[in-house]
Structure formats: C-alpha cells, structure tokens
Amino acid sequence: MWNAIINYSFMQNALIAALLSSVVCGIIGTIIIEKQLVSMSGGIAHTSFGGIGLGYLLGIEPIIGGFAFAVMAAIAIVTIRRRANTYTDTLIGMFWSVGMALGILFITLTPGYPPDMTSYLFGDILTVSSTYLYLIMVLAVVIILVITGKFKIIKGYLFDEEYLVVLGINVRFYEYILFIMIAMAVVIMIKVVGIILVIALLTIPPAIAKLFSNRLERIMLVSILVGIVVSVLGLVFSYYFDIPSGATIIIVSVVSYVIAYLFKGRKEKVFSH
C-alpha cells in the first residue's frame, strides 16, 4: 500500500481526496445533521447529476457542470421555499428526480459511446483527476475559512435563526452561504463515494461523533477524525480486495457506527454501576 502511494500518482490523489473530503464532511455533515437538512443534501447531490450529464454533452469537465447544478439547486430550493407555498420536502423531491432525468437525457444526447456513469453514481476515488483535486482543494479551503471565520454566528443560526431575525441580522444571507457550502461539499464527495452514497458519508461520521460529545465544535473535529479513519480504511480495503472504494468506505463507516454505539452503551453501563 505504501509503495503504491509513493509510486502511483493516482494513489496519492486518492489519499488527498479522502483527507480533504473527510475534513469537509466533518464540518458540513455536522451542520446538516443539526439543521436537519439530510434530505435537502440528498436532493442537491442528485440534482448535480444533471450538471454532470451536461458537462459530457458540452465537452467540459463534468464535475464543473455538477458543481454549477448543485449550487443552482441549493439557491433555488432556498428561494422557492420562501416564496411559494410548497413544502420543502416536495421541492427537494422535484429537484432530486429532475436532476437525475436531465443527467440521463444529456448523456443519451452526447455523441459517441455513452460514458460510464458508475464512477459518479457510486464514486471511484482511484480515478480522481488533478483538475478535480484542485477544485476540491479550493472548495475545502473556502469551507474551512467560512466556518472558522464565522463559527459563532453560524452556530447561532443553526440553533435559533428566529432570534437572529429579531436582532435584525440578515439570516437569509447565512442561509444562502450555508446551502452553497452544502452544495460544495456534495460536489467534493461525488468522486469519493458517489452521488448515491454522499448522504452516508455526510451523516455517519457526525453521528458517531455525536455519541461522544455535546459541543458543536468538538463534534465537527471528531467527525473529521472519524471521516479520515473510515475513508483511509475504505481506501486500503478497496485497494487490497479490489472492491469499489465508495461502497467500501460506506460499509466501513456503518460498521464503525455500530461499534461506537455498542462501545458507548457498554461504557455507560460501566459508569452507571
């Protein structure tokens, strides 16, 4: 494994992608869980599939198209749910399926052999290109900067946005920032675990962290660590057993959650005696 990392640039890219995505997942995943935006994030992820298809059709880097669609979906969902009398859930459902439908249409319309979409749907961290790596580096830096720079107000927004409205703070501004960051995170995750599995990697590490801490900043830090462990382990397993990386990472995460849950239960039992 170490030889592979030293010798092959695809392994180095994979490792960097895994580390960056763990950092992003820890931060954004915690926010998604606390603000109960899990299905919203799923909607954004699936909408990005339309952009990926469009990328193929226009002959540009598909992930750029996916990113554009994800951000547009985030902005649209926030805007429409404020104006129209439609449940957010319904809106998310529409974006979710329309994104997938557009993706399939665009890919069918793309001349030549249809590209293999499995790596976008289920992730393939071993094929991360350097363009992609630069993109996720930039996005990860932006997310880290915004979260650390605005941590207190974002925490306030997550806990009680009504109160910020009363104080005359432009809550919508933070809402847009947050949703755009979720879109960014989703795009970062696409190559790692794929559109369909994104939600798992965004939610499982924070869920594990939440078992052991009740401070927002600590949950974020612990889920970053958990994310790093599960994605590197997933990468190792997938390399040695020649199995799909995305699915492996998810299975490792879920198993970790179960172990953490049982461990916590046991610990509490010990303490209560």
Partner 1 sequence: MDVDVVVKDLCVHYGKVNALHKVNLAIENKEFLGVIGPNGGGKSTLLKTIVGLVEPTNGRIEIKEGLRLGYVPQFTSFEKSFPTTVEDVVLMGEAKQQQRWFYRTHESSYKKSEELMRFLNIYELRHRQIGQLSGGQMQKVLIARALMNDPDLIAMDEPTASIDAQTKMEIYNLLHELNEEKTIVIVSHEVESLMPYLDSVFCVNTTAHYYHRDETHLAKHLTEDMQNLHDELYPGCPVKIFKEHETIEKT
Q: Which residues bind partner 1 (CB under 8 A)?
A: 34, 85, 148-150, 152-153, 155-156, 158-160, 162-169, 210, 213-216, 218-219
Determine contact, residues 193/201, Cβ cutoff 8 Å: yes
- Residue 129 — φ and ψ, nearest 5°? -85, 165
Compute φ and ψ for 77, nearest 5 degrees: -65, -45
| Rg, the chain, Cα only | 19
Instruction: Identify how many contiguous H helices and E strands the chain contains and give both numbers.
Output: 12, 0
Which is closer to partner 1, CB of 77 or CB of 154? 154
Q: How far is the CB of 270 from partner 1 (least distance, A)?
A: 21
Whole-angstrom distance, CA of residue 73 vs CA of residue 104: 17
Q: Minimum CB separation from partner 1 for residue 95, in Å?
A: 24
Which pair of structure tokens corresponds to residue 48?
Answer: 């990005």
Q: Work out how close the CB of 156 gets to partner 1 at its nearest, in angstroms, rounded to a whole number.
A: 5
Angle of helix 151-166 relative to helix 9-34, nearest 10 degrees, comes to 30
Ranges of H-type helices in 110-150? 118-122, 130-149
Q: Smaller CB distance to partner 1: residue 116 or 152? A: 152
Compute φ and ψ for 90, nearest 5 degrees: -65, -45
Shortest distance (Å) from residue 144 CB to partner 1: 12
Quickly list H helices, 198-244: 198-212, 216-241
**Of 166 and 270, which CB lies nearer to partner 1 in the complex structure?**
166
Cα–Cα distance, 143 to 55 (Å, whole number): 24
Closest to partner 1 by CB, 6 vs 166, is: 166
Least CB distance from residue 143 to partner 1, whole Å? 15
Q: Which is nearer to partner 1, 137 or 211 (CB)?
A: 211
Q: By C-beta, is 159 or 263 nearer to partner 1?
A: 159
Q: Name the minimum Å distance from CB 225 to partner 1.
A: 16
